[in-house]
A and B are shown apart, each in its own frame.
Chain A
Amino acid sequence: MSNEDIQKGLAEIVEEVAGVEAADVTSDKSFVDDLDIDSLSMVEIAVQAEDKFGVKIPDDELANLKTVGDAVTYIASNA
């Protein structure tokens, strides 16, 4: 799966969980500061991303995924 595909899939999850428009979920955006997603919504996003991309995102790893780009890179290298 290409990074663009991962980002697109992730954006759909973010939209579904947090009601943020998928188009706003771009690589440089910080989940917390730019997209206003809180830590509990991040857990829900991680759970759905695990299902969708077949990757494990433990809580301690999740804490390091600050931007959309961080998450895409993590998924791409762990899926």
Chain B
Amino acid sequence: MTSFAVPTGSPGARILGIGSYQPETIVSNHDLARTMDTSDQWIRERVGIVNRRFAKPDEKLVDMAVEAGAKAVADAGLAPTDIGAVLVATCTMPSQIPNAAAQVADRIGVTGAPAFDLNAACAGFCYALAMASDLVRAGTARHVLVIGAEKLTDWVDPVDRSTAIIFADGAGAAVVGPSDTAAIGAVAWGSAGDLVDMIQIPDRHSFVHQEGQSVFRWATTQIAPIALRAVELAGIEVSDVDVFVPHQANLRIVEAIAKRLHAKGAREDLVIARDIVDSGNTSSASIPLALDHMRAAGEVRSGDVALLVGFGAGLSYAGQVVRLP
């Protein structure tokens, strides 16, 4: 039987560039304490956040995605027309249709490119990065723009102190392209739909609701093994990891996962993302935002081995090892 023609792929894929965008308005814990019964001290101790950014009412999720995406394309040294597909990881689009990705592609100048959204909540960026890597390796697209963008303030009850103190807005992006060696490792991913009730926005008239302590227990016990599995799948040792960038859910979750990695041989000098302190929890945007901020601060270098792991509603989770551009 004839075998149909398929594209020629590439032995590996790598991240060529990253970019991010945060809205202008900085909201401190003190600002929040003016509108609800909370305090700077409580928020710092329980979640580790000091400041976060909120988009203005007229600033759209798509606007933020465009800013971050365009920066990542430029950082990769590419022109928009070099991009072969656009993936937007998001769980906070205000519209059911259209998706974000087609508009983002058009506004960045990637007119006509295949473009779609992917919803795996806070695991979305790692899911999309895995898809992008496979699209490139298979030759389906040569360069893929992956964006995590969220306007959580549209879906959070502004006076619900169990969520309003945590969630924030922003976007982060990466361009994935072909490589002779694989610089994005195999993904360790999965879901736990039996735990769906732990975090949800059940319909368009609802705000985000979470079982805080159950989420905390799940994240602090179940995510380190996923991260370690990603290391194993990449064929490296945990001591080879230079940088650890977990989803920025809660600083205490970040520290608890890092502690488990240290117990399994992670190096003392492992650089750990703590971007939540000044960015809040931006769901699918948090990992690329953290990466971009760490790079700007000189905390990470080109060539560093970074372990990424996203986790959240669904429940869903995904992690992989990448070499930083």
Q: Which residues of A contact B (CB under 8 A)?
A: 38-40, 43-44, 46-47, 59, 62
Residue from B46, B211, B220 within 8 A of A44 (CB atoms): B220
Contacts of B214 in A (CB 8 A): 59
Q: Chain B's nearest CB lies how many Å from the CB of A51?
A: 10
Tell me whether A59 and B213 are in contact in the complex, defined as CB-CB below 8 angstroms, given that A44-B220, A44-B256, A47-B221 are known contacts: yes
Q: How large is the interface on B (under 10, 10 to 19, 20 to 34, 35 or more residues)?
A: 10 to 19
A43 and B45 form a contact (CB under 8 A):
no
Q: Chain A's nearest CB lies how many Å from the CB of B40?
A: 16
- Closest-by-CB residue of B relative to A47 is B221
B252: interface (CB < 8 Å): yes
Contacts of B211 in A (CB 8 A): 59
Apart from A38-B45, A39-B213, list 20 A-B contacts with CB within 8 A: A38-B46, A40-B46, A40-B213, A40-B216, A40-B252, A43-B213, A43-B216, A43-B217, A43-B220, A44-B220, A44-B256, A46-B217, A47-B217, A47-B220, A47-B221, A59-B211, A59-B213, A59-B214, A59-B217, A62-B213
Contacts of A40 in B (CB 8 A): 46, 213, 216, 252
The DSSP consensus for interface residues of chain A is helix
Q: Which residues of B contact A (CB under 8 A)?
A: 45-46, 211, 213-214, 216-217, 220-221, 252, 256
User: Which of B45, B217, B221 has most A Cβ within 10 Å?
Assistant: B217
Contacts of B252 in A (CB 8 A): 40
Q: Chain A's nearest CB lies how many Å from the CB of B153?
A: 24
Q: Chain A's nearest CB lies how many Å from the CB of B216?
A: 5
Q: How far is the CA of A1 from the CA of B217 in the complex (A)?
A: 26
Contacts of A38 in B (CB 8 A): 45-46
Q: Chain B's nearest CB lies how many Å from the CB of A19?
A: 13
Q: How far is the CA of A46 from the CA of B220 in the complex (A)?
A: 12
Contacts of A39 in B (CB 8 A): 213
